[in-house]
Amino acid sequence: MRTPFKSVYQIAERHARERGNKVHAIAAESGIEVTFKQVFALCNQMASFLAKRGFQANDRVSVLADNCLSQMLLFHMVQAYGATINLVNCEVHTKNVEQILFDVEPKLILWHRDLAPELQVIVRATGVEHYTFDDNPVPSSTNEFFSLLAKELSTPSVPLVGTPQDFALINYTSGTTSSPKGVCCSHEAYFYVNDGDVQAFRIAETDRILEYRAVTWCSPQILSVCTTLQAGATIVLAKKFSQSHFFEWVQKYGVTISAGVPTAITMLLARPH
């Protein structure tokens, strides 16, 4: 029987109600944690923030950052409201960022405060509303955007937008043979892609998935980021792969699953015993 469609907002709401104090996300390097209750609160705050700016379905938010809890949660928060998220790979796409932002036409740009100076110039030149953030989704003197969000209601307060057929996200191809191209995916399609992985890999709420690949790519999104949310599981997010820390993270956080590219797996197998 086909699983009934659930929006990101509905999924976050259910987990907040059923397992609110359970940890959903952990920063591998620092050990900082975010619970399902906090995820749902952030979704509500983002909905209020976007609603005040007149965001509708298919309006885009571009996020420029490397792996961190804030970036990953923004991915969920924008989709939960019903708008479209565009995560930009700032390492691979550096020379193409200007073109990507031109094509996507975001109404809001969020960028990590450690973004390369040349990319900061590009963001500011768009004339689009933009804010900085840091690694962790909490208000602080260095976290402009999440300090703004903290002023919004953390409980349901605004109507959500969109339908299952509207765009959930725009991911860009690597651009290895030509200019990167945007690939659009609906909320419904993305739900079923992730649901298929939850079922195929039998991911349960007791699992803890370690992800170190750039979550700007589709594979980490559907194998780790979104599957853990749909299953009520926990994601352990690292900034990048570390041969020296991998097994330390596995042991420290009780990791049960981790996907990886052949190069990383080969490095791990070649480690001295």
Residue 122: is it exposed, middle or buried by C-beta count within 10 angstroms (0-12/13-18/19+)? buried
Which residues are paired to 42 by β-bridges? none
Q: pLDDT at position 67, please? A: 97
Q: Tell me the pLDDT tens digit for each residue of 67-78.
A: 999 999 999 999
The whole-angstrom separation of Cα 212 and Cα 210 is: 7
* Residue 273: pLDDT band with limits 50, 70, 90: low
Q: What is the pLDDT of residue 93?
A: 76
C-alpha distances (whole Å) from 147 to each of 12, 46, 192 are: 22, 12, 34
Give the pLDDT of residue 179: 83
> Residue 194: its pLDDT value, please?
96
Write down the pLDDT at residue 51: 98
- From 146, 190, 143, 142, select the one nearest 165 (Cα to Cα): 190
**Token pair listed for 198:** 């939850």
Q: What does the pLDDT look like over 20-40, one tens digit per residue?
A: 999 999 999 999 999 999 999
The percent of residues in the chain predicted with pLDDT above 70, rounded, is: 99
For residue 172, which of 31, 32, 269, 63 has the smallest C-alpha distance?
63
Question: What's the rounded mean pLDDT across residues 251-261?
Answer: 93
Spatial CB neighbours of 71, under 8 Å, sequence gap ≥ 6 = 63, 65, 87, 112, 215
Output the six-digit token pair for 13: 């709401």
Let me know: does 172 contact 148? Beta carbons within 8 Å.
no
- The answer on pLDDT for 178 being more than 80 is no
Pick the range with the lowest mean pLDDT from 49-63, 74-88, 147-161, 167-181: 167-181
Least confident of 4-8, 124-128, 179-183: 179-183
Stated length of the chain: 273
Residue whose tokens read 């043979």: 177
Task: Say yes or no to pLDDT of 60 above 70.
Answer: yes
Mean pLDDT computed over 217-237 = 96
User: Which two structure tokens, joined as six digits, stand for 132?
Assistant: 């900085």
Segment 199-210, tens digit of pLDDT = 999 999 999 999
**Mean pLDDT score, 228-236:** 98
What amino acid is encoded at 270 in this protein? A
Q: What is the pLDDT of residue 56?
A: 98
Tokens 């796409």 label which residue? 93
Transcribe the chain into DSSP letters.
Answer: -PPPP--HHHHHHHHHHHHTTSEEEEETTT--EEEHHHHHHHHHHHHHHHHHTT--TT-EEEEE-SS-HHHHHHHHHHHHHT-EEEEE-TTTTGGGHHHHHHHH--SEEEEETTS-HHHHHHHHHT--EEEEE-SSSS-BTTBHHHHHHTTS-SS--S-----TTSEEEEEE---SSSS--EEEEEHHHHHHHHHHHHHHTT--TT-EEEE-S-TTSHHHIIIIIHHHHHHT-EEEE-SS--TTTHHHHHHHHT--EE---HHHHHHHHTS--
Average pLDDT value for the chain = 95
Q: What is the pLDDT of residues 105-123, one digit of tens each?
A: 999 999 999 999 999 999 9
